[in-house]
């Protein structure tokens, strides 16, 4: 494997050591100044990372606790059902990425009709009352919140002066003359532009999923696969990919198929994602696997027989090893 020890360290863990709060009032359990970084943070791209790091710098300067405030679903799924975008990261994946940034605590609020109807001053007032004290709040300068999305940075500035917390309203991070955004990342992934996505994310694009039982056809063909249960994430085009997977801090090279499996599935419209890990045959059912897409090898095609499919998988594995530099 090509990854070094520093990368192994930064990839270890799956959010299990992070303190997660589910209600604003629970913040009162933290003594000392509170520094919040607030937003939806889909993808935890480099713009989101700067908001989080701003809160971390505040805590380093004056002491206290950093808490990332986010939501369990995209607000559009409640405000405008059916218009919400595919997410870049599931809730669990978002926690994993935040933990890798050194985040020790997250306030994960349920976004529902009650939350959507909350007046902005009521929402901020609850944060102020629960902080002991609320010392700083870091947000993107375009962040909107509260009923009708009427809460904004102008309102936060006024409340901050009155309540005594420091507001950091960050301008977007720019790349290629354009603001970094979750939308730009989605478009890059949809096009299979992993280099472009990595530039915006500050990391390789990946998906996180639980390994579930499949039909075990790959095992019968001599290429056992880990089948992943994915959520409603934005995925790249259907096809075969060279990948690297992270399991409990270990980095494993492999080849993956994302698609409809036309050779063995008769007209199914369900996308499947299965990964063959080189030299690895442990039982990992129920475990979380973080899979990074490195390069696309080919389109998904239908084969005339399972023997033809087996021969193609062997060729795919060979090409994936070359792409990954795996001996």
CATH number of 25's domain: 3.40.50.620
In this structure, the number of other CB atoms found within 10 A of the CB of residue 20 comes to: 13
pLDDT at 79 > cutoff 80: yes
Q: What number of other Cβ atoms are within 10 A of residue 152's Cβ?
A: 17
Model confidence at 6: pLDDT above 60:
no
User: pLDDT by residue (tens digit) across 243-259?
Assistant: 999 998 899 999 999 98
Buried b or exposed e, range 184-216, using 16+ CB within 10 angstroms:
bbbebbeeebbebbbbbbbbbbbbbbbbeebee
Same domain assignment for residues 211 and 118: no
* Helix, strand, coil shares, percent, the chain, to 5: 35, 25, 40
Band of pLDDT at residue 111, cut at 50, 70 and 90 = very high
- For residue 244, give the H/E element and its range: strand 239-247
Quick one: DSSP state of residue 74?
A: -
Last residue of a domain, one of 135, 159, 175: 175
The answer to whether 302 and 261 have CB atoms below 8 angstroms apart is no
Q: Which domain holds residue 84?
A: 5-175
* pLDDT, tens digit, 9 for 90 and up, residues 196-227: 999 999 999 999 999 998 766 666 676 888 99
Decide if 228 is inside a domain.
yes
Claim to verify: residue 20 and residue 169 sit in the same structural domain: yes
Pair type for strands 288-298 and 134-140: unpaired
DSSP annotation of 289 reads: E
Same domain flag for 236 and 306: yes
H-state helical runs in 26-87 = 46-62, 76-79
Note whether 121 and 66 are same-domain residues.
yes
Determine, yes or no, domain membership for 192: no
pTM over 0.75: yes
* pLDDT of 49 above 60: yes
Q: What's the distance, CA 176 to chain centroid?
A: 23
Residue 10 pLDDT level (bands cut at 50, 70, 90): very low
Are 98 and 222 part of one and the same domain? no
Task: Give the pLDDT score at 66.
Answer: 98
Alpha-carbon separation of residue 36 from 95, 105, 155, 202 (angstroms): 16, 10, 17, 22
pLDDT at 12 over 60: no
pLDDT tier, 268 (very low <50, low <70, confident <90, very high otherwise): low
- What is the number of domains present in the chain? 2
Q: Is residue 187 in some structural domain?
A: no
114, part of any domain? yes
Residue 266, domain member (yes or no)? yes
- Output the pLDDT for position 214: 72
- Write the pLDDT tens digit of every residue in 272-309: 899 999 999 888 999 999 999 999 999 988 877 888 88
pLDDT in tens, 142-154: 999 999 999 999 9
Residues 82 and 149 in one domain: yes
List all residues 6 or more positions away from 231 whose beta carbon is below 8 Å from its beta carbon: 87, 90, 209
CATH of the domain at 259: 2.40.30.30
Indicate if 28 and 100 belong to the same structural domain. yes
Question: So what's the pLDDT on residue 322?
Answer: 96
Same-domain check for residues 161 and 299: no
The better pLDDT of the pair 121, 219 is held by 121
What is the four-CA torsion angle of 67, 49, 63, 17, rounded to 10 degrees? 50
Question: For residue 3, what is the enclosing H or E element?
Answer: none
Residue 301: predicted pLDDT: 84
Q: Among residues 175, 191, 213, which one ends one of the domains? A: 175
Nearest residue to 191 (alpha-carbon basis) of 137, 239, 236: 236
Condensed to tens digits (0 to 9), the pLDDT of residues 157-172 reads 999 999 999 999 999 9
User: What pLDDT sits at residue 160?
Assistant: 97
Averaged pLDDT, 317-325: 95
Is the Cα torsion angle 149, 150, 151, 154 positive or negative in sign?
positive
């Amino acid at each position: 494997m090509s990854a070094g020890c520093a990368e192994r360290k930064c990839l270890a863990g799956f959010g299990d050591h992070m303190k997660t709060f589910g209600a604003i009032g629970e913040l009162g359990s933290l003594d000392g100044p509170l520094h919040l970084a607030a937003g939806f943070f889909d993808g935890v791209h480099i713009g989101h990372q700067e908001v989080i790091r701003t809160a971390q710098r505040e805590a380093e300067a004056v002491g206290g606790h950093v808490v990332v405030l986010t939501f369990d679903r995209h607000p559009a799924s409640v405000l405008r059902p059916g218009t919400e975008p595919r997410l870049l990261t599931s809730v669990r994946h978002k926690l994993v990425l935040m933990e890798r940034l050194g985040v020790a605590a997250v306030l994960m609020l349920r976004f529902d009709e009650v939350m959507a109807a909350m007046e902005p001053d009521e929402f901020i007032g609850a944060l102020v009352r629960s902080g002991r004290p609320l010392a700083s709040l870091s947000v993107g300068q375009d962040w909107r919140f509260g009923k009708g999305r009427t809460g904004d940075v102008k309102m936060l500035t006024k409340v901050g002066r009155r309540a005594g917390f420091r507001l950091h309203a960050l301008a977007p991070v720019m790349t290629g003359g354009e603001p970094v955004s979750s939308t730009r990342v989605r478009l890059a992934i949809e096009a299979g532009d992993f280099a472009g996505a990595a530039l915006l994310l500050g990391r390789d694009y990946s998906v996180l999923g639980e390994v579930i039982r499949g039909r075990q056809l790959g095992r019968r063909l001599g290429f056992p696969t880990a089948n992943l249960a994915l959520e409603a994430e934005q995925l790249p085009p259907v096809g075969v990919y060279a990948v690297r997977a992270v399991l409990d801090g270990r980095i494993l090279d492999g080849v993956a198929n994302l698609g409809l499996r036309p050779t063995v599935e008769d007209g199914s419209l369900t996308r499947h994602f299965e990964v063959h890990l080189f030299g690895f045959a442990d039982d990992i059912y129920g475990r979380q696997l973080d899979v990074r897409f490195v390069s696309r090898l080919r389109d998904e095609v239908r084969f005339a027989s399972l023997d033809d499919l087996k021969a193609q998988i062997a060729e795919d594995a060979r090409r994936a090893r070359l792409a990954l530099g795996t001996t």
